[in-house]
Structure 1
Amino acid sequence: MYIELEHISKYFGTFKASDDVSFGIEKGKLVGLLGPSGSGKTTILRMLAGLEKQNEGDVIIDGKNVNSLTPDQRKIGFVFQSYALFPYMTVYDNIAYGLKVQKRDKSFIKNRVHELLDLVGLPGVEKRYPDQLSGGQRQRIALARALAPQPEVLLLDEPFAAIDAKVRKELRTWLRETIDKVGITSIFVTHDQDEAIEIADEIIITNKGRVEQVGNPVEIYENPKTPFVAQFIGQSAVIKDFGKLKGFEKENDRQYGVIRPEFVEISDNTDQTGNHKNATDSAYEDGIIEEVLFRGNTYEIKVRIGDITVTGKTSISAGKRTRGEHIKVLIKQLYIIEGEHTQIVKNKAFDDSQIYYI
C-alpha cells in the first residue's frame, strides 16, 4: 500500500475524533472519504497532511513513517473547501506561490503555471484575481496551485461543497479526468454519496470517528457490511415489522429491516383480463399511494402496505400515479439487521423451491 494509517486515534479533550482508524490506499487511486458531518473525515485528512498531530498510531507514505515530518516535508498538496486562494495575488502568483517557496527559477515557474492552466482548462486567466473568477474557476485554480509543487499525494476537503449543483456535477467529471491525467494518489472528503460513488475508485466510510467499511463503490452499495452502512448508503427506510411483508420472516424482536427504493417494484400486476402475469404474483402486496414526488426523470412514490410505508420509483413513461390510488407492490429483497450483523435476504418468491402458482 502506498498510504497506510495504522491504529490512528485523535482526541480533542474528551472527544474522540478518530478512534483506532486503520486503512491502506494503493498508489494512483482516487479515494473518497465518505460519512455524515462529524464522522471524522476531515480530521483524518488533516492528520495525513500533518496539519493535525494524532495522539496514537502511525501515518506511513510510500513505506516511510511520516509522523515527525512537517506538512511541507510530506510532499502533500491540499485543496481546501473554501479554496483559500490569496485574494491580493493574481492567478499566476497564486499558482506560482509554492514554486517560489521552493526557489524554482523563473523560467520553470512560468512554464509550470501555463502547463497547469492548460491542464485545468483555464488558459489565459493568469492576470485575473480570484474575485474575478466564478466558484468553479476558483476551485480549478486551487487545484492547480496544489499540483504546482508536484506533490506525491493530493488531498481535497469537500472540494465542491461551495459550488452550485449544476457546476458541481460538471466538476466531478473534470476532477476524475484530471486525476487520471496526472496519475497522483488522491483522497477527497465528501458527505455526498452520489459524488463518492460517481468518481472514486474506492470509498472509505466513516462514522463516529471509526471506519465502517472500505471497498469499491459497487461493493459498498450492494454489500454493506454494517448496519450503519446499510442505512447510510442509498435512500434507505427502516422497517421494524418486516415480517408482515409477504416472502419474509422475522425470527426475533431484535431484527429490523432496511429497504431501498430499488428493492420495491410498483405494478398493477394484472393484464387486461385481470389474470396474474407471473409466478411471483403471490408475493405482491396491496398498497395505497400516500405521496407522489416528481424527481425529473422518475416519480418517487410512497406506498402504505398495512401499517408499513415503503418508497419505490417508476419511470416517466409509466405515467403519473395519484395519491390514494390502489396498486400492487413487490418487495424483491431487503437487508435484515440484528446487532452488528447485516444480511441481504431475497423475497422467497424468487427462490424456485418456494414459488407456487395460483
Structure 2
Amino acid sequence: MYIELKDINKTFGNYKASDHVEFGIEKGKLVALLGPSGSGKTTILRMIAGLEHQDSGDIYIDGTCVNELLVRERGIGFVFQNYALFPYMTVFDNVAYGLKVRKEDKKVIEKRVKELLELVDLKGLEKRYPTQLSGGQRQRVAFARALAPNPQVLLLDEPFAAIDAKVRKELRNWLKDMIGKIGITSIFVTHDQDEAVEVADEIIVTNQGRVEQMGTPTEIYKNPKTPFVAQFIGESAVITDYDRLKGFHLYQGCDRAIIRPEFVKAVRFGTEKRFQSLYAEGIVEQVAFRGNCLELQINVNGILLKTIQSFAEEPFQKGEKVEVIVYRLYAVDEKEAHLIQNEGLQENEMFYI
C-alpha cells in the first residue's frame, strides 16, 4: 500500500475524532473520505498532512513512517475548502509560490507554472488576481498551486463545497480526468455521497471517528456492511415491524429494516400485474419534485416507504390509492446489515438495481 494508517487514535478533549482507524490506499488511486459532519474525516486528512498529530498509531507514505516528519517533509499537496489563495498575488505568483519558497531556478518555475496552467485550463489568465476569477477558476488555481512542487500525495478538503451546483458537477469530472492523467495518489474529503460515487475509485465511509467500510462505490452501495452505511448511502426509509410487509419475516436479532427507494415499486390501484399477492395497498402522502424524477412517500399499513417515479409515467397525486411491492430490504442489528430478498419472488424473477 502507498498510504497506510495503522491503529490511529486522536482525541480533542472528550471528543474521539479517530478511534482505532486503519486503512491502506494503493498508489495512483483517487479515494473519498465520506461521512457526516463530525465523523472524523477531516481529522484523518490533516493527520496524513502533518497539520495534526495523532495521539497514537503510525502513518506510512510509500513505506516510510512519517510520524516525526514536518509538513514540508511529507511530500503533500493540500487543497483547502476555501481555496486559501493569496489575494494580492496574480495567478502566476499563486501557483509559483511553493517553488519560490524552495528557491527553484526562475526558468524552472516559469516552465512548471506554464505546464500546470495548461493542465488546469487556465492558460492566458496568468496576470489576473483571484478576485477577477470565478469560483471554479479559483479552485483550479488552488489545484495547480498544490501540484507545483510535485507532491507524492494530493489531499483535498471538501474541494467543491464553496462552488455552485452546476460548476461543482463540471469540476468533479475535471478532477477525475486530471488525477487520471497525472497519476498522483489523492484523497478528498466530502459529505456528499453523489460526489464520492461519481469521482472516487474507492470510498472510505467514516462515522463517529471510526472507519465503517472501505470499498469501490459499487461495493459500498450494493453491499453495505453496517447499519450506518446502509442508512447513510442512498435516500432510505428506516422502519420497524417490517414483517408486516408482504413477503418478509423478522430476521433473527434484527428489529429494524432499511429500505431504499429503488427497492420499492408503486403501481396504480387495480392494475393487472405479476405477483399480485405480494402487493399491498398504500396511500401517497407526499409527492416531491427531484429534478429528473418524482419522489413519493407512501403509507402502507402505517409504514412510510419512499420510491421514485419517472416523468415518463402519469404522475401520482397526493392522497391517491396505490399498490406497492417491496423487492428487498436490509435487516439490521447493532453491528451488521443483512440483505433480505422478498420470499415470494423466485430468484430468476428478482428485480435488480
Report the Cα offset of residue 353 of structure 1.
Answer: 11
Given the alignment of the two structures, is residue 26 of structure 1 paired with residue 26 of structure 2, yes or no? yes
- Residue 299 (structure 2) aligns with: 304
Q: 1:319 aligns with which of 314, 318, 338?
A: 314
Percent sequence identity over matched residues? 61
Given the alignment of the two structures, is residue 93 of structure 1 paired with residue 93 of structure 2, yes or no? yes
Report the Cα offset of residue 250 of structure 1.
Answer: 1.4
SS of equivalent residue, structure 2 residue 344: helix
TM-score by length of 1: 0.95
- Residue 230 (structure 1) aligns with: 230
- Residue 339 (structure 1) aligns with: 334
Give the letter for the 1:277 counterpart. K
- Residue 129 (structure 1) aligns with: 129
Distance 1:94 1:127 in 2: 10
Report the Cα offset of residue 14 of structure 1.
Answer: 2.5
Structure 1 stretches of 4+ with a deviation exceeding 4 A read 251-254, 352-355
Report the Cα offset of residue 350 of structure 1.
Answer: 1.4
Distance 1:220 1:251 in 2: 22
Deviations 1:79-114 (A, max 9, x none): 000100011111100000111112111111111111
Is the alpha carbon distance of 1:244 and 1:163 closer, same or farther for their aligned partners in structure 2, counting shifts above 3 Å? Answer: same
Q: How many pairs does the alignment contain?
A: 350
Q: 1:277 aligns with which of 267, 270, 273?
A: 273
Report the Cα offset of residue 351 of structure 1.
Answer: 3.0
- Residue 215 (structure 2) aligns with: 215
Distance 1:338 1:114 in 2: 56
SS of equivalent residue, structure 1 residue 176: helix
- Residue 68 (structure 1) aligns with: 68
Report the Cα offset of residue 11 of structure 1.
Answer: 1.3
Q: 1:348 aligns with which of 343, 350, 353?
A: 343
Deviations 1:183-210 (A, max 9, x none): 1000000000000000100000000001
- Please say if residues 348 and 354 of structure 1, whose CA atoms lie closer than 8 Å, have aligned partners that are also in contact: no
Given the alignment of the two structures, is residue 260 of structure 1 paired with residue 260 of structure 2, yes or no? yes
Alignment of 1:149-160 (within 5 A): 149-160=149-160
Shifted more, 243-252 versus 21-30: the winner is 243-252
Distance 2:347 2:114 in 1: 64
SS of equivalent residue, structure 2 residue 94: helix
Distance 2:163 2:297 in 1: 31
Deviations 1:249-295 (A, max 9, x none): 11567511100100011113755xxxx432x2210111111111121
Alignment of 1:235-246 (within 5 A): 235-246=235-246
Distance 1:341 1:177 in 2: 35
Given the alignment of the two structures, is residue 11 of structure 1 paired with residue 11 of structure 2, yes or no? yes
- Please say if residues 5 and 57 of structure 1, whose CA atoms lie closer than 8 Å, have aligned partners that are also in contact: yes
Report the Cα offset of residue 349 of structure 1.
Answer: 1.7
Give the letter for the 2:33 counterpart. L
Give the letter for the 2:292 counterpart. N
SS of equivalent residue, structure 1 residue 22: strand
- Please say if residues 254 and 331 of structure 2, whose CA atoms lie closer than 8 Å, have aligned partners that are also in contact: no
Is the alpha carbon distance of 1:239 and 1:113 closer, same or farther for their aligned partners in structure 2, counting shifts above 3 Å? Answer: same
Shifted more, 252-261 versus 112-121: the winner is 252-261
Please list every run of 5 or more consecutive structure 2 residues that lacks an aligned counterpart in the other structure. none
Give the letter for the 1:296 counterpart. G
Given the alignment of the two structures, is residue 117 of structure 1 paired with residue 112 of structure 2, yes or no? no
Report the Cα offset of residue 306 of structure 1.
Answer: 1.1
Distance 1:20 1:318 in 2: 49
Shifted more, 34-43 versus 338-347: the winner is 338-347
- Please say if residues 269 and 277 of structure 1, whose CA atoms lie closer than 8 Å, have aligned partners that are also in contact: no
Report the Cα offset of residue 348 of structure 1.
Answer: 1.0
- Please say if residues 4 and 61 of structure 1, whose CA atoms lie closer than 8 Å, have aligned partners that are also in contact: yes
Shifted more, 343-352 versus 152-161: the winner is 343-352
Is the alpha carbon distance of 1:353 and 1:195 closer, same or farther for their aligned partners in structure 2, counting shifts above 3 Å? Answer: closer
